Amino acid sequence: MLMPRIAQLIESDGPGGAERVVVDLALGLQASGSRSVVFLPADGEGWLARQLEGSGVAIEYFRLDRPVSPACARSLAAAFRRHRIAIAHSHEFSMAVYGALASWLAGGQHVITMHGSRYYARRLQRRAALRAALALSGGTVAVSKQLADEMSHDLLVPRSHIATISNGVRHVPADGTPIRDQLRLGAGDRLLVSVGNLYAVKGHVHLIDALALLADRHPAVHLAICGRGDLESALLARARELRLPNVHLLGLRADVAAVLAAADVFVLPSLSEGLPLALLEAMFAGCPIVASDVGEVAAALGHGEAGALVEAGNPAALAASLDSLLSDPARARVLGERARMRAAAEYDVSHMVRCYRSIYDRLLTRATLPVTGFAAGSARSNL
């Protein structure tokens, strides 16, 4: 019996969280017997395609050259027919809209996942377009309950029509040159690590400000940030202004697991998130964690049982929480171990793949119950 072909669609293919979810879903489905096709922008970076090399996952490219492009929807529909796609799964706003229309044209099923960006909410036309896409889709998913609540409010759709499925990550053991050697850290130096692209929403400037507040009590503390983005120069300038020589911007790293293994504390200073993969990776690594209380972060950390939660955008609160963990290594180790256990129990990528697979199976078997009501039986975070 031929297994169904399932498409994953995303408008960007750089090393971001939503893109990594697409990779893990495609690989997980391929391993379970489904045939995966990933649709990527023709003029993208190529990062996502490189992650799938040699996996057997097919790659198809599309062009979206203008904000409103019926031609893109028609070309996607033609590709769905050519590949005999049973279900198209679109990620984020643009592909949710075009994927829904293309699936309707091709006569197939469609699923939407929103990962955290509320780009759609800025204009009435975008909200109307996404609302129409939801109406054409068999299932709609948000990666956090907060995002699902916001979508329900923004789009005027019943909350019960939006399921939540937590992101999952594939745990990668540390492998690579110890980052402490690269940074020339001594035995007495302490290392804070943050992972996230250098955008304002990630809150790194507040972390640098918090580091300045820690400097007197913890002069041997270093901060390493993994990620790239437009704010690199501004963050370095802020560190110079505050006379902080121990701020290290590491850029995009392929050895994040090794960086996390060297961390004394992992810090997530974001102003807004759904459920960031960087947090889950830090949990798997057993890092003591200080994180902004945004999105699904508190739920992931057991509402403070497996990591310290602070108000987003508050450097003083961030500094106080970091001071507490740096001053109490025993407590930090306990929180790190609790985080590791929670990650292994609830946030392995296999859980995420199973939840999405349950949606696909319900669509393929045309279950009597509406797909939008599946969450209580399949999505862990709705239990």
What pLDDT is attached to residue 74? 96
The Cα 52–Cα 155 span in angstroms is: 34
What pLDDT is attached to residue 120? 84
Maximum separation of any 2 CA atoms in the chain, in Å: 67
In a domain, 174, yes or no: no
In the chain, the number of structural domains is 2
Same domain assignment for residues 123 and 202: no
What pLDDT is attached to residue 368? 35
pTM for the model: 0.82
What pLDDT is attached to residue 177? 63
Angle between helices 70-83 and 93-106 (to 10 degrees): 60
Helix, strand, or coil (residue 58): strand
Same domain assignment for residues 73 and 187: no
Same domain assignment for residues 253 and 156: no
CB 41 within 8 A of CB 64: yes
Sheet holding 190-195, edge to edge: 247-251, 221-226, 190-195, 265-268, 289-292, 308-310
Whichever domain contains 268, its CATH number is 3.40.50.2000
CB 11 within 8 A of CB 41: yes
Sheet holding 109-114, edge to edge: 58-62, 35-41, 5-9, 85-91, 109-114, 139-142, 163-164
In a domain, 184, yes or no: yes
What pLDDT is attached to residue 3? 67
Same domain assignment for residues 161 and 215: no
The Cα 251–Cα 259 span in angstroms is: 12
What pLDDT is attached to residue 34? 86
Angle between helices 277-284 and 17-31 (to 10 degrees): 70
Same domain assignment for residues 54 and 34: yes
Same domain assignment for residues 337 and 256: yes
Same domain assignment for residues 221 and 187: yes
What pLDDT is attached to residue 378? 35
Same domain assignment for residues 249 and 357: no
CB 133 within 8 A of CB 104: no
The Cα 325–Cα 240 span in angstroms is: 26
Same domain assignment for residues 236 and 103: no
The Cα 1–Cα 34 span in angstroms is: 11
Same domain assignment for residues 149 and 234: no
E strands in 49-84: 58-62
Same domain assignment for residues 22 and 153: yes
Residue 114 sits in which domain range? 5-169+348-382
CA end-to-end distance (rounded Å), the chain: 33
Same domain assignment for residues 187 and 332: yes
Sequential pLDDT tens for the chain (383 residues)? 456 899 999 999 988 889 999 999 999 999 888 899 999 999 888 999 999 999 999 999 999 988 889 999 999 999 999 999 999 999 999 999 999 999 999 999 999 999 977 778 888 999 999 999 999 999 999 998 989 999 999 999 999 999 999 999 888 777 656 889 899 999 899 999 999 999 999 999 999 999 999 999 999 999 999 999 999 999 999 999 999 999 999 999 888 999 999 999 999 999 988 889 999 999 999 999 999 999 889 999 999 999 999 999 999 999 999 999 999 999 999 999 999 999 999 999 999 999 999 999 999 986 333 434 333 333 333 32
